[in-house]
Amino acid sequence: MRTASSSSTTFVRRVTKAVFKSVAQTIVQSVTETLTRTLARTIVRTAAKTLARTTGRAASKIAAARIRAARIRAARIRAARIRAARIRAARISANTTANTSAMSVALVHDRAKQLGAPLRRKKMPDGSWTTLPWIEPIKAFIGFSNKDDGPAEIRQNRANASAPLRRKKMADGTWQTQKWMKP
């Protein structure tokens, strides 16, 4: 037969065990959930980093390929423009006469110099349109008194074309911007 003290000790033991079991179960469950969350977060983060690295490499390769293609395309366009300008210059020099060879050399030089000039549309006599580089008209020096006047005059005109600007007061009181020409 049990005594009162032993039965109360057994009761206390049972209650303690039940309380400990429920508390321990809650704690274990909480720790398990936390560890699971942390582990899942770590796995997701690692996977995201790996994916970002892989995607970043692929994107950078694609961008580099696009840049290379754009450079090659630009070089081809430049080469085509240079070829077209040389062909035009050759046609112009072929059409000039022998006595104006100095002028044709200057013309070819000027046209080659303005390869990067903007384009313009010009209506041809037959009604069609063509695209030409916008080149300022060059004065034709025909009928030189002697051969040295031509190239010197061409050089002088080139110097005046790039001359600085100045403001000049006109007789009527208005101001006008002019190129500062050498006397």
Could you report the per-residue pLDDT of 66-91, keeping only the tens digit for each?
888 888 888 888 888 888 888 887 77
Within a domain: residue 11? no
pTM of the predicted model as reported, rounded to 2 decimal places: 0.29
Q: Where are the beta strands (DSSP E) in 30-126?
A: 119-123
From 79, 112, 132, the end of a domain falls on 79
pLDDT above 60 (res 30): yes
pLDDT of residue 44: 85
pLDDT tens figures, 2-27: 555 566 677 778 877 877 777 777 88
Of 149, 123, 117, 152, nearest to 136 (Cα)? 117
Same domain, 71 and 118: no
- Identify whether 116 is part of a domain: yes
First to last CA, the chain: 140
Number of domains in the chain: 2
Band of pLDDT at residue 152, cut at 50, 70 and 90: low
- Structural domain span for residue 42: 16-79
| Same-domain check for residues 100 and 174 | yes
